Amino acid sequence: MRLVKHPNIVQLHEVMATKAKIYFVMEYVRGGELYNKIAKGKLKEDAARKYFQQLISAVDYCHSRGVYHRDLKPENLLLDENCNLKVSDFGLSALSDCRKQDGLLHTTCGTPAYVAPEVINRKGYDGAKADIWSCGVILFVLLAGYLPFHDTNLMEMYKKIGKGQFKCPNWFPYEVRRLLSKILDPNPNKRISITKIMENSWFRKGFDDKSKRSEIGKKEMVPPVDIDAVFDCSDSNNSEEKQEPGGKQESAKPTNLNAFDIISLSAGFDLSGLFEESEVRKEARFTSRQPAVAIISKLEDIAKRLRLKVKKREGGVLKIEGTKAGRKGVLGIDAEIFEVTPSFHLVEMKIANGDTLEYQKLWKEDVRPALKDIVWTWQGESHYLPEQQLQQQQQP
């Protein structure tokens, strides 16, 4: 928030701390949430356009500073005493430095009805394009008084989002319909950019960007805080490495699963069919009651036996690679460990590079059978306990 000084963003004035608490001194915004206005019914076109212009102006500025909000919705848009919009709640925001090696963000977060399909897909996403999608949903809500993607069944709602299935009411102007179709494009590569939105004829009606630039220029006089000196910009939780007694370095703690992760990893909510045409499974998931250290040790033992190399990364991620090139280069397998609870983990293993057939043969004949000692259940398979294990659990 110290990085984004903009007239349409709630300002952070000061941060103070005691040993027990952190205090944020923020701008006082008197008008409440924009959501309260929408709850009374749809807005008139001019009012909706004004709020959308202010939202896009604020989001565009955030992106120019490398800040991605990731939870844009009417509840997080406040109004001041002059009914000007103020973006708030940067609790789920990320910085450009938080992107992984592929240049994308990977934390699944946001509010289901406003979240972009690529965020649900868990394959990595561009923070700017995901924010643009949320802005499109907000514009629809402002003009319609209800959500474009809505269903009592969460799975059905995600399907609609994944396919970009929505219908504009008959009172929407033609220009708005065309603009929304470009913003709510499920393909992020084809989705309209903020620059193009700001060039749109409907958007530009009454938009005074010169005065905005003047106000922003005045606020830029305040030097931004050195964010790297205050925060560790990791997009995954618990990325620090611990030092064991004797100087041995322990691998980083596995990433915690949030509610979105649990939903998207559930077999019943598998949305891969919405995004992938291939019928060949290139990943497998299993749960384990073993600690993360034991799971990593097991994977290292299997790799050693199969003469594969193992590289450890932050957040409970292992890279397993072959030593010889196959038909399509060196085979690579990514294994990532997620913590559901301290005593219950989910492991995802998938091909990263190399030949798919080679991977499937290795997986079926060598890797999967060798994992049986630590697997509690495979995803998509009903769980059962061997008789011996059942008897042990029944003993006092």
**pLDDT tens figures, 307-360:** 888 887 666 688 888 878 877 788 889 888 888 888 888 898 888 888 888 888
103 has a pLDDT exceeding 80: no
The torsion defined by the Cα of 47, 48, 53 and 59, in degrees rounded to 10, comes to 130
The set of catalytic residues is 71
Return the biggest CA–CA distance within the chain: 76
Q: 176 with 320, same domain?
A: no
Boundary (domain end) residue, out of 167, 197, 230: 230
Residues 178 and 309 in one domain: no
- φ, ψ at 173 (rounded to 5°): -60, 150
Higher-pLDDT residue of 314 and 229 is 314
Burial class (CB in 10 A: 0-12, 13-18, 19+), 323: exposed
Note down the domain range covering 378. 250-394
In terms of DSSP H, where are the helices of the chain? 34-39, 45-64, 117-121, 127-144, 154-163, 174-183, 194-199, 201-204, 209-219, 227-230, 259-265, 272-275, 292-305, 356-362, 368-370, 387-394
CATH of the domain at 263: 3.30.310.80
Distances (CA, A) of 107 to 100, 149, 352: 10, 22, 19
In a domain, 207, yes or no: yes
Q: Are residues 217 and 308 part of one domain?
A: no
* pLDDT tens digit sequence for 14-50: 888 888 888 989 999 999 999 999 988 899 999 999 9
Clarify whether residues 57 and 186 are in a common domain: yes
DSSP string, 276-287: ----S--EEEEE
Residues 274 and 196 in one domain: no
Domain count of the fold of the chain: 2
Task: Please tell me whether residues 203 and 261 are part of one structural domain.
Answer: no
> Is the pLDDT assigned to residue 85 strictly greater than 90?
yes
Q: Which of 179, 200, 230 is the last residue of a domain?
A: 230
Q: How far apart are CA 71 and CA 39, in angstroms?
A: 19
In the predicted model, what is the mean pLDDT of residues 370-387?
70
Q: For residues 255 and 225, state if they share a domain.
A: no
